[in-house]
């Protein structure tokens, strides 16, 4: 039993790495989602083209391949990345591409009449986006952002392939040392579920707080 | 700039099409400062499009519009006139306010914030002053006690009165009302019309009103324009238009409206 608590400690250490990857990956994905989503709505052709290329590329290729590129190929062209950085980049850019479509879709689904009211009140296009459209669109983004964050959490498992000792990597160490298969994998099953539960409940809480007294579907 | 001897709005041979649909057909008319104008006519006749063009929500295909002595859709350039840029439109919009059929309040803001946002953001009015002005306006429309409510907590009539206060907060010279009672339950129409009556009596603002409320148009307007197919078919004082229309099309329209239950 004392031995098992040592192994549990190993898995929990992996869990910390997974949480770190998830948090940093989500931060990058969040930034990329807004850059990509606003880029696709830009008036400037160049910005639209860059954003579209980014989104289509990262949605259209596998996260495994993107990770291998970040870790194995980039060093060959003189950009060596630590496994952790490569993992964060691949996850953030990949999920950010999905998020960008959420940002774009949510902004477009704010009723056109809100835009017209802004014109009638003489807001600049920045003021319109900042004070009127974005606060309403953000609430619409939240549920899908929550899904994306959970996708990212589950996606972190792929980094075990580039030798990061995350929560999926550690049970395999435990298993090879103890021969016990069920316990380590049951442990991470529960841990993944608990972490995703934290994500979904906090996003739902945020959503509830922001939409208080709000009739989101109609103006 | 805005002398009293010239019209505050001059519409000169304005045409507008949506695809193959010709909405305005070389339309021309003037509006005098302080005049209350009612635009009536069948739907699709172009009356709402005129308000939307004046609010710069739609562009024009040809013609000219002068507001307060300045070209609305054009600026000098290339030795003549070129289409207006955003900066010019921003300047021109300061003269005009609009109230919409569906209120278009900002659902994430309180009533007070709905009214103060535009003055604070677009005219740099300090917060205390903006709120003081907003409370006075909310008081005028009878909703001072709803300042902290969100739009979703209000009835349609209350929403529309907030929307009127919001437009007035920018102190425009011209107010455009686009079928502002059409989306309201019948018993809520009167509270909105009362606010507009007061506004017409107490201010010298120029007001353009697109409406199906013929009784109200008759009481409220100095002049009625009857539109059909993008042209003015007939215009004159409300008494003449409603009691003694000269054109067959005006008569047909008014008959239909009365049959539909809009009493005159």
Summarised one tens digit per residue, pLDDT across range A76-101 is: 999 999 999 999 999 999 999 999 99
> How far are the Cα atoms of A2, A177, B106 from residue B151, in angstroms, in the given order?
61, 63, 7
User: Judged by CB atoms within 8 Å, which residues 35-74 of A form the interface with B?
Assistant: none
A153 found inside a domain: yes
- Residue A64, pLDDT above cutoff 80: yes
Nearest CA-CA distance, residue A213 and chain B, Å: 6
Nearest CA-CA distance, residue B13 and chain A, Å: 24
Work out the mean pLDDT of chain A and round it to a whole number.
92
Work out the mean pLDDT of chain B and round it to a whole number.
93
pLDDT of residue B170: 97
Structure confidence at residue A37 as a pLDDT band (50, 70, 90): very high
Nearest CA-CA distance, residue A210 and chain B, Å: 9
What's the average model confidence in pLDDT over B179-193? 93
- Residue A67, pLDDT above cutoff 70: yes
DSSP labels, chain A: -HHHHHHHHHHHHHHHHHHHHHHHHHHHHHHHHHHHHHHHT-SSHHHHHHHHHHHHHHHHS-HHHHHHIIIIIGGGGT----HHHHHHHHHHHHHHHHHHHHHHHHHHHS-HHHHHHHHHTT--HHHIIIIIIHHHHHHHHHHHHHHHHHHHHHHGGGGGGGT---TTHHHHHHHHHH---HHHHHHHHHHHHHHHHHHHHHHHHHHHHHTTT--TT--
Structure confidence at residue B79 as a pLDDT band (50, 70, 90): confident
Nearest CA-CA distance, residue B24 and chain A, Å: 21
- Residue A216, pLDDT above cutoff 60: no
A9 found inside a domain: yes
A218 found inside a domain: no
- Per cent of chain B over pLDDT 70 is 97
- Residue B15, pLDDT above cutoff 80: yes
Alpha-carbon span A157 to A195, nearest angstrom = 13
pLDDT of residue B257: 85
Report pLDDT digits (tens) over A126-141: 999 999 999 999 999 9
What's the average model confidence in pLDDT over A96-114? 97
pLDDT of residue B3: 47
A108 found inside a domain: yes
With CA atoms as reference, report the closest residue to A68 among A150, A158, A157, A154: A158
pLDDT of residue B196: 94
Report pLDDT digits (tens) over B25-74: 999 999 999 999 999 999 888 999 999 999 999 999 999 999 999 999 99
pLDDT of residue A217: 44
> How far are the Cα atoms of A163, A211, A213 from residue B31, in angstroms, in the given order?
77, 44, 42
- Residue A73, pLDDT above cutoff 70: yes
Nearest-CB residue to B102 (from A124, A131, A219):
A219
Which chain B residues are closer than 8 Å to A123 by Cβ? 118, 121-122
Count: domains in chain A: 1
A217 found inside a domain: no
The CATH number of residue A24's host domain is 1.10.3720.10
Q: Report CB contact under 8 Å: B150, A114.
A: no
Residue B256 or B9, more confident: B9
pLDDT of residue B2: 44
**pTM as predicted:** 0.87
Q: Report CB contact under 8 Å: B105, A113.
A: no
Structure confidence at residue B238 as a pLDDT band (50, 70, 90): very high
- Residue B261, pLDDT above cutoff 80: no
- Range(s) of the domain holding residue A76: 2-211
Residue B104, chain A, CB below 8 Å: the answer is yes
Alpha-carbon span A54 to A36, nearest angstrom = 7
Residue B79, chain A, CB below 8 Å: the answer is no
A72 found inside a domain: yes
- Residue B260, pLDDT above cutoff 90: no
Q: Are A87 and A157 in contact, with CB atoms under 8 Å apart?
A: no
């Amino acid at each position: 039993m004392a031995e098992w608590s040592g192994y549990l400690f190993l898995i929990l250490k992996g869990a910390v790495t997974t949480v770190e990857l998830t948090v940093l990956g989500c931060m990058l994905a969040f930034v990329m989602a807004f850059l990509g989503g606003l880029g696709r709505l830009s008036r400037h052709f160049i910005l639209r083209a860059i954003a579209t290329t980014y989104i289509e590329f990262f949605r259209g290729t596998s996260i495994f391949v993107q990770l291998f590129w970040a870790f194995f190929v980039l060093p060959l062209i003189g950009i060596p990345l630590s496994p952790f950085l490569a993992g964060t980049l691949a996850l953030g850019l990949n999920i950010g591409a999905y998020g960008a479509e959420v940002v774009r879709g949510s902004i477009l689904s704010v009723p056109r009449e809100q835009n017209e009211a802004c014109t009638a009140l003489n807001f600049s296009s920045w003021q319109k986006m900042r004070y009127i459209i974005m606060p309403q669109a953000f609430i619409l983004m939240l549920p899908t952002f929550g899904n994306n964050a959970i996708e990212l959490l589950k996606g972190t498992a792929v980094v075990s392939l580039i030798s990061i000792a995350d929560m999926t990597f550690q049970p395999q160490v435990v298993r090879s040392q103890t021969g016990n298969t069920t316990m380590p994998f049951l442990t991470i099953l529960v841990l993944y579920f608990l972490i995703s539960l934290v994500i979904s409940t906090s996003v739902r809480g945020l959503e509830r707080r922001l939409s208080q007294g709000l009739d989101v579907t109609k103006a | 700039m805005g002398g009293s001897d010239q019209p505050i709005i001059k519409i000169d041979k304005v045409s507008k099409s949506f695809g193959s649909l010709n909405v305005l057909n070389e339309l021309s008319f003037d509006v005098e400062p302080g005049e209350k104008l009612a635009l009536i006519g069948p739907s699709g006749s172009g009356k709402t499009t005129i308000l939307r063009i004046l609010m710069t929500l739609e562009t024009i295909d040809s013609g000219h519009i002068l507001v307060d002595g300045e070209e609305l859709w054009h600026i000098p350039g290339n030795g003549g006139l070129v289409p207006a840029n955003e900066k010019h439109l921003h300047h021109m919009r300061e003269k005009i306010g609009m109230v919409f059929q569906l209120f278009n309040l900002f659902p994430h803001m309180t009533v007070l914030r709905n009214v103060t946002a535009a003055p604070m953001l677009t005219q740099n009015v300090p917060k205390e002053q903006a709120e003081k002005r907003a409370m006075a306006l909310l008081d005028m429309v009878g909703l001072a006690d709803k300042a902290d409510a969100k739009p979703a907590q209000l009835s349609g009539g209350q929403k529309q009165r907030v929307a009127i206060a919001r437009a007035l907060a920018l102190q425009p010279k011209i107010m455009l009302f686009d079928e502002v009672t059409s989306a309201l339950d019948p018993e809520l129409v009167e509270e909105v019309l009362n606010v507009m009556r007061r506004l017409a009596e107490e201010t010298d603002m120029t007001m353009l009103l697109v409406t199906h409320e013929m009784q109200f148009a008759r009481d409220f307007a100095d002049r009625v324009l009857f539109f059909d197919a993008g042209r003015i078919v007939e215009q004159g004082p409300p008494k003449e238009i409603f009691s003694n229309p000269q054109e067959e099309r005006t008569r047909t329209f008014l008959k239909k409206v009365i049959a539909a239950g809009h009493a005159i």
